[in-house]
Structure 1
Amino acid sequence: MSNVAVPSDSNAQEALTEFGNEISALVNRVIEGNRETVTKAADRIRHTLDNGGVVYTAGAGHSLAAVMETFFRAGGLAPVRPLWHADVLPFNGAALSTQAERTPGLGRSVIDASTVEARDTVVLFSTSGINPYPLEIALGARERGATVIAVTSVGASQLAPQRAGQRLFEIADVVLDTLVPSGDASWPVGGTSVTAPVSSITNTVLWDCVLVALYEADPSLPVWRSANIATAGSSNDDLMAHYAERIPEMLAADPARRAAVTAATKSQ
């Protein structure tokens, strides 16, 4: 027989209520604390769009979940291109991804191989903001004259060990503070939190806040429609035709596959 105590259903329900309240409070603090910086981020991105530029998004490990949220997303901004390296994706090796984002030179190789220009904006998601991978991308983007927006936890970053001489929030043009606690976990409340990470929630909230600010400034914002509604096809096809040259990931990474996808799309 197991000696592990099983919590009662009432305890679990109370915990869920408390957790929901804590998450709601965190989201509200994030929105209130970033009102000015969200506006600044939206202004920089608006400048990029007005000049025919692209918004690049990057991250490592689970921050790639935020990058995925920005790319080809129903309701999402169309001219977004992900910057990433296969080694920082946990599905390609969990331990490898941690080692890779700490390896000097990898981020530099990603930005050097990119097509980032001065008119573009690079958004970097990194809760700790201390590893070489995101910092090298940020520094390389700034060298090209691009705007750098950091989505990071300033408090957690200040508590984390320095691994690259600087922290992401120190070198970005605009900083969106996720307010994520050190270690990311949020439960239990009031003690040593061990589970329920929150960075994916706050990353998404902040990106959506930027989208709201962009839309309010210009309702003609180029956004994707859900592929699962009847009226999406022509609108999305037009966006792909307009942006695919600068964002080839919209079709396929491999030229042969890209041609096949294009042919299939035209035949529908």
Structure 2
Amino acid sequence: MKYLDTVIGSLKYVDTQKEKFEEAISIIENSLRSNGLIYIFGTGHSHMLAEEIFYRAGGLAAVYPVLIDELMLHRKASISSELERVEGYIGEVLDGYDLSSFDVFIVISNSGINAVPVEAALYAKSKGCKVIAITSLNHSKNSKPRNSKNLHLYEIADTFLDNGAPKGDATIDVGGKKMGPISTITGAFILNSLIIGTAEKLEKEGVELPIFLSANVENGDEINAKILVNYKKRVPIL
């Protein structure tokens, strides 16, 4: 299948960014060592990646996704696309989160050009957070920013990882139209690689991280319940 070949090729490309992975892992490692949280945010389909590493088997407890109904798809999908271009919106929302210089803020945006992800990254930096971006360099570098600051997301972040997606995300030509988006697959790979890499480094230092188990395996409920006791106050949506 063409799509399978495309997926494999894209994942292999993403895996070549060794230096970027190390930079991002180091940022997350330093945050967790200081008892910080990993905030993660995306609009539209990118919000799925914010949920990818939240409260799931093999996931870290210190993950706090910023999930805003109006910027997701289940309320009114087309409105979410309009809203992510509105300047001045996201700052008021993020005022409700207790961001600090100990935290990491991950922003996911395939195009990296719209006002909301750009302003979210700038807001997080204003609070002292280190910012990691997951974006498509191909799309960003071939698109004019849709924000008055004239910035792409990757230009703001302390480090970024290229998800390998083409401009427009879809990869397979079907009758002259493109199908088969790739950013969700490569984005999930990037995020899980960062979480695993961080855990491996801290494990070598003797730091034991709280990691959720599947609720459908032996002792899963009991182990997760102990983790929740310690994290529900810090991550209220748990």
Alignment of 1:57-76 (within 5 A): 57-76=40-59
TM-score, length-scaled by structure 2: 0.93
Higher mean Cα deviation, 235-244 or 143-152?
235-244
Alignment of 1:155-170 (within 5 A): 155-164=138-147, 165-170=150-155
Higher mean Cα deviation, 145-154 or 18-27?
18-27
SS of the residue corresponding to residue 19 of structure 1 reads helix
Change (3 A) 1:26 1:193: farther
User: Distance between the aligned counterparts of 1:64 and 1:234, measured in 2?
Assistant: 29
Alignment of 1:52-201 (within 5 A): 52-164=35-147, 165-188=150-173, 194-201=178-185
User: Distance between the aligned counterparts of 2:141 and 2:177, measured in 1?
Assistant: 19
Tell me if the contact between 1:131 and 1:163 (Cα under 8 Å) persists in the aligned partners: yes
- Percent identical among aligned pairs is 32
SS of the residue corresponding to residue 107 of structure 2 reads strand
Tell me if the contact between 1:149 and 1:173 (Cα under 8 Å) persists in the aligned partners: yes
SS of the residue corresponding to residue 196 of structure 2 reads helix
Structure with greater proportional helix content:
1
User: Distance between the aligned counterparts of 2:113 and 2:60, measured in 1?
Assistant: 28
Q: CA deviation at 1:215?
A: 2.4
Tell me if the contact between 1:214 and 1:221 (Cα under 8 Å) persists in the aligned partners: no
SS of the residue corresponding to residue 74 of structure 2 reads helix
Structure 1 runs not aligned, ≥5 long: 1-15, 251-268
Q: CA deviation at 1:231?
A: 1.7
Q: Which residue of 2 aligns with 1:22?
A: 6
User: Distance between the aligned counterparts of 1:193 and 1:117, measured in 2?
Assistant: 45
Tell me if the contact between 2:56 and 2:212 (Cα under 8 Å) persists in the aligned partners: yes
Tell me if the contact between 1:185 and 1:198 (Cα under 8 Å) persists in the aligned partners: yes
**Greater C-alpha Rg:** 1
Q: CA deviation at 1:171?
A: 0.5
Q: CA deviation at 1:209?
A: 1.2
SS of the residue corresponding to residue 53 of structure 1 reads coil
Change (3 A) 1:192 1:127: farther
Tell me if the contact between 2:84 and 2:114 (Cα under 8 Å) persists in the aligned partners: yes
Q: CA deviation at 1:50?
A: 0.9
Q: CA deviation at 1:248?
A: 0.4
Structure 2 runs not aligned, ≥5 long: none
Aligned pairs, number = 232
- Match of residue 237, structure 1, among 221, 225, 233: 225
Amino acid at match of 2:9: A
The higher-RCO structure (CA 8 Å, 6+ apart) is 2
Aligned-residue RMSD, C-alpha = 1.5
Q: CA deviation at 1:192?
A: 5.7
Q: CA deviation at 1:218?
A: 2.5
